[in-house]
Chains A and B, each alone.
With several copies, the nearest count.
Chain A
């Protein structure tokens, strides 16, 4: 069922993410994303799937204003992020937790500092920040590694640090790009439970993944991209 058209018309103030005919072209003549319209409600949990190069990461980047759309409108929390002033971008990003496909950890900071930076940018008081970071690291099973540097962590450990950073300030929106690609099956379930838990507490979650097992297991809404175009949108 192609649900994009239907959903986009389904306007509502409680939808923190709405895309209307969004296209993105990095190189003239080719589209990484083509005419994508969709709407995601508050607290909804959505899988984003599709083959390599389908535009999943591009879609996520548009949502936190790391890229600007070539065409169309993107409303995040009611604001048009395609037209956001440079100076308004940080405030947007502080409401959005992102797990990057390549982690993007600060190599010269410890695990604790890497997670904590998400609280520092919001001006959280030090005492509170320390407690939250410790709690979060415990949840991803890395509290014992908190004084180590990311480069001395295994791939899966780094991925969990990235997730901890994205979740620590209880964002309104969580964008996770392949957040379990480096995790073993058991850990994948633990981590996904964390993410699902966040969504039940009201965080709107988009998880880009290739892991069809995961998609099937959780049975959540699944949006499929193919060559930059909306494929299926399955509830």
Chain B
């Protein structure tokens, strides 16, 4: 019986080539959109991470703290919740940086002695780059002996964490809209395909085919069309990836730094194909719901 159902499904695919190709094609296109989005979003993730790295809390130290004492403080601060990295910046290094940032001109030549204090540059773990994370850190560090003043760019964090939320929700939202659109389009297409074959289904039912006998081959067809659509989408995405990445490589480096843009891993690629198969099956299932013998 299973053999008959599978054979019926294969014959169905063959005998209605137009609708099968159309359905698989539509699924492929929908998945290309979703997949391209996933690729872009995935690679952007790294970019956001790097932006976040620039968030630092700087603890300016009192002038009588020497390197050894500073080293102790570094170790102490490193234990605070959410702290990822702590770096000690000596007054000399600080002046050097200021010079660099002012463009290397002779602007600070007139200074008789180094007015800049030593500092600790504290980097938060990504999960703590929020106003709350900063508050915890500030509370822990502010009272420490030897700490003169804390600079923590509260505004910056506010902005960063909000942008992060915004971008993430935009990504989730856009991804959701795309997935929903893909679902609707595929359901629509398969509904049309069922519609085009309504007579066939009606005849099968008239000669005594059970619901299972009518539906299972149809679901199998849909699933297969979807899987093929998924494979095609994967192929198209890979081809586009291979062709486009060298084109934009140079520009991408500005964003991603040394991080190479990456394609789907095998597991992710399998998910894409599975998503296609699932779409095809659900689309067929939904279309069959609308159909009554």
Chain A residues with CB under 8 Å of chain B are 64, 66, 86-87, 89-94, 96, 98, 100, 104-109, 113, 117-118, 120-123, 126, 165
Contacts and interface: CB of A to CB of B under 8 A. Distances in A.
Nearest to B292: A86
6 contacts: A93-B206, A96-B208, A106-B203, A107-B199, A108-B15, A121-B207
Contacts of B199: 107
Q: Which among A96, A113, A120 has the greatest number of chain B C-beta atoms within 10 A?
A: A120
B207 A118 contact: yes
Contact of B206 (A66, A86, A91, A108): A66
Given A104-B203, A120-B8, A123-B4, A93 B16 contact: no
Contacts of B65: none
A118 to B, nearest CB: 5
B205 A90 contact: yes
A106 B11 CA distance: 12
Interface residues of B, number: 20
A98 B206 CA distance: 9
A126 B3 contact: yes
Contact of A117 (B3, B204, B210): B204
Which 10 interchain pairs have the tightest Cβ spacing?
A93-B208, A94-B208, A108-B15, A90-B210, A121-B209, A121-B208, A104-B203, A123-B1, A90-B208, A120-B4
Contacts of A64: 206
Contacts of B293: 86, 89
Contacts of B208: 90-94, 96, 118, 121-122
A214 B11 CA distance: 39
Contacts of A165: 207
A87 B4 CA distance: 20
A6 B7 CA distance: 50
A64 B208 CA distance: 9
Interface in B198-228: 199-200, 203-211, 213
Contacts of B203: 104-106
Given A64-B206, A93-B207, A98-B207, 4 more contacts: A87-B211, A90-B209, A90-B211, A120-B213
Q: Which among A86, A90, A92 has the greatest number of chain B C-beta atoms within 10 A?
A: A90
A109 B210 contact: no
Contacts of B15: 108-109
Contacts of A86: 293
A100 B207 CA distance: 10
A141 to B, nearest CB: 22
Contacts of A123: 1, 4
B11 A109 contact: yes
B1 A113 contact: no
A92 B15 CA distance: 28
Contacts of A121: 204, 207-210, 213
Contacts of A100: 206
Contacts of B205: 90
A224 to B, nearest CB: 26
B290 to A, nearest CB: 16
Interface in B33-61: none
Interface string B1-25: 1011000100100011000000000
Contacts of B11: 109, 113
Contacts of A94: 208
